[in-house]
């Protein structure tokens, strides 16, 4: 598979922060495709380029994941990338339920929810803990990457 597209320039023109005290990337200003590429770059820190990639192309059904990485045990770490302004209770429920209904659910032992925003609402945090326990019973570790 030709992976040269991963090294193409991003499509989004984001002005640098004027205030030099800025400590966070302006993730909410990135196009979703560029946010997905950023998530892939972060995943590559743990996995080699041959072991992880973006799943599918724009317009294809993606089985509830955006990135997958094969682990040494033959199972997968699956990643959903959400470039949202806010991550609500319904969003976390939909993301996990959709993943559970697709084929990578049976192939994965880790699900990462990668978002461009923080999960600072108590309802979302509480639901994450509940879903983490539920998926744990299925031998899947649920991992939160908020405001990556």
Tally of CB atoms within 10 A around 117: 17
pLDDT digits (tens, 9 = 90+) for 118-145: 888 999 999 999 999 999 999 999 999 8
Pairwise CA distance, residues 72 & 20, whole Å: 42
Pairwise CA distance, residues 125 & 138, whole Å: 20
pLDDT attached to residue 114: 92
Q: What is the pTM of this model?
A: 0.73
Residues of the chain with pLDDT under 50: none
Instruction: Sketch out the chain's domains with CATH numbers.
Output: 27-146 (3.40.1350)
pLDDT attached to residue 99: 94
pLDDT attached to residue 89: 94
pLDDT attached to residue 129: 97
pLDDT attached to residue 47: 65
The beta strands (E) that lie in the chain are given as 52-54, 67-70, 76-82, 108-115, 141-146
């Amino acid at each position: 598979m030709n992976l040269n597209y991963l090294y193409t320039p991003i499509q989004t023109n984001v002005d640098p922060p004027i205030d030099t005290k800025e400590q966070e990337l302006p993730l909410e200003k990135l196009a979703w495709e560029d946010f997905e590429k950023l998530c892939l770059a972060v995943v590559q820190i743990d996995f080699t380029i041959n072991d992880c990639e973006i799943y599918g192309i724009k317009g294809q059904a993606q089985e509830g994941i955006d990135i997958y990485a094969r682990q040494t045990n033959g199972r997968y770490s699956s990643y959903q990338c959400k470039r949202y302004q806010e991550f609500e209770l319904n969003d976390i429920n939909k993301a996990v339920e959709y993943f559970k209904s697709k084929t990578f659910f049976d192939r994965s032992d880790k699900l990462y929810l990668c978002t461009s925003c923080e999960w600072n609402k108590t309802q979302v945090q509480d639901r994450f803990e509940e879903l983490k326990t539920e998926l744990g019973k299925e031998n899947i570790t649920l991992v939160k990457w908020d405001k990556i």
